[in-house]
Amino acid sequence: MSLPRWMEPLLEAGEMREIDRWAINERTIAVDELMERAGEGLAGVISRRAPAGRVVFVCGKGNNGGDGIVAARVLRQAGRDVEVLLVWPAEWMGSDAQAQLKKLPGAKPVAFEAGRLNKAQVIVDCVLGTGSSGKPRSPADQVISEMEAAKAPVIAADVPSGVDATTGEVEGPAVHCVATAAFHRPKVGLWVRPGKEYAGEVDIVDIGIPRGGPARPDAGLIGSGVLREVPRRGATSTKFSSGNVCIIGGSRGLTGAPAMTALAAMRAGAGYVTVGAPASLELSFTVRLLEAMVVGLPEDGDGHLDASGLEPVLKAVVRADAVVLGPGLSKNPQSQALARAVAPRIDVPLVVDADGLNALAGQLEEILAGRRWPTVLTPHAGELGRLLEVDSAEVERSRLRHVREAAAISKAFVVLKGDDTLVAAPSGRVAISRGRAPGLATAGTGDVLSGVIGAMLAKGMPVAQGACAGVYAHLRAGQIAAAPHGPDGVIASDVIASLPAALSA
């Protein structure tokens, strides 16, 4: 099944190998022709990023090294000062790469030695390439460490050495690059942390492989086209046909979270929003939310929702088109028990966030897998770790694997928040945010995201589109909010105020 039009395909290492094989065997494109185009494209990226100064290529023994040899030749012929260092002996290189060595004018390549990077103005990493995974072995590990320690900026050929092209995982030394020249199509690992942090700017290099091919990518970048899928209000719309969202949450001291979720849902186009919260806190919500309805729910006398409120909650959501469960709920045992009881019984699309997620820790399959309606979970790494009962550091080390695992277990769509926000379907397909909105790194923006996704689902969008549209609109709103003065002064309410502009862009 092909990706939707609004997703830019990303390739895994195995998929790229299949495409290379197809191009060579089925479309009869010679290996040296592909290598020439890759090297020429790499040289172009180097020229744009570093138009002057000494260029030092560090080349491995595979085709990645051959691509570097071609780029070195192109730059030498253009008059650049170029040195080529080989990590392994020249005779260990493949036949295609060795053929390129014979075409290299000027000084011959020399063996890599410590200290040879000291005079470089730019370093080009052509050591491992897409086929590498796991912890780099000697001598590559020492070479990678020296490139990382060098003062000169590094540009990678296809993928930074030490980064897994398929997953973005980094298990040993790796190179932080200012740019990566991605051949044919970008690889998944360039856009998923921690690999994303090493890739720098990703420049796509066309190497002449035609459209088509055997690969059917299961991951892609979320593009602006997803916002074209968002239903808009028309002349015959009503407040109910525009989407009815109900938010269940809130507790003493945590009234801001559900309030921001409600405001975000309204700014994202929901026509009718209700907040169900502890009855004693109704005044707090009423003064903040002039346009939303507030329903007081049973509480424990201390401002926390009580487990006895199951039926009142189900009554409060009966007319909703989507429900957001969890903002401001608190870790109170009664409130957590209520969330566990409510989640499987809500018969509309459900978004679970914040302490609603904490209530499901270790019980994803038991509570959610039997739901008849779509479910979206919106954890950060710590919350996903609790859901899967693993350490948050382990989640961050292998974000792609863990978000897919949670989606498969819960039969839900899981939105793992971060600069590389990942939207994983139960099938394993993953949509990835381009990120680069540092203004979102502030309290409350997660509540904003859950409200936006709730509004998208309430409008009747398919769950995959709705979750991705919410992620993209949230990202754009964060960028717009930061545009006047930079990201440091942005607060969550600024992001909410920027949602209409983000959705209309």
> What local confidence, expressed as pLDDT, does residue 212 receive?
81
> What local confidence, expressed as pLDDT, does residue 213 receive?
84
Is 261 annotated as ligand-binding?
no
Q: E-assigned strands of 306-425? A: 322-325, 350-352, 375-377, 413-416, 422-424
Residue 37 has pLDDT above 70, yes or no: yes
Is 129 annotated as ligand-binding?
yes
Is 302 annotated as ligand-binding?
no
Is 460 annotated as ligand-binding?
no
Is 63 annotated as ligand-binding?
yes
Provide the residue type at 163 as one letter: V
pLDDT in tens, 269-281: 999 999 999 999 9
pLDDT-derived band of residue 330, with 50, 70 and 90 as boundaries? very high
Is 321 annotated as ligand-binding?
no
Average pLDDT over residues 274-302: 95
> What local confidence, expressed as pLDDT, does residue 301 receive?
85
Is 134 annotated as ligand-binding?
yes
* Backbone conformation region of residue 391, classed left if phi is above 0, alpha if psi is from -120 to 50, else beta: beta
> What local confidence, expressed as pLDDT, does residue 107 receive?
95
**What's the chain's average pLDDT?**
96
Is 244 annotated as ligand-binding?
no
Residue 487 has pLDDT above 70, yes or no: yes
Average pLDDT over residues 124-150: 95
Average pLDDT over residues 344-373: 96
Is 25 annotated as ligand-binding?
no
Is 180 annotated as ligand-binding?
no
- Structure tokens, 284: 């707090």
- Answer whether 0.75 is exceeded by the pTM: yes
Is 141 annotated as ligand-binding?
no
Domains of the chain: 7-222 (3.40.50.10260), 236-504 (3.40.1190.20)
Q: 255-271 burial string, b = 16+ CB within 10 Å, else e?
A: bbbbbbbbbbbbbbbbb
Is 482 annotated as ligand-binding?
no
pLDDT in tens, 412-466: 999 999 999 999 999 999 999 999 999 999 999 999 999 999 999 999 999 999 9
Is 184 annotated as ligand-binding?
no
Provide the residue type at 471 as one letter: V
Is 447 annotated as ligand-binding?
yes
Is 131 annotated as ligand-binding?
yes
Is 304 annotated as ligand-binding?
no
Is 32 annotated as ligand-binding?
no
Element (H, E) at 293: strand 293-297
Is 168 annotated as ligand-binding?
no
Average pLDDT over residues 110-120: 94
pLDDT-derived band of residue 1, with 50, 70 and 90 as boundaries? low
Could you give the maximum distance between any two Cα atoms of the chain, in Å? Answer: 83
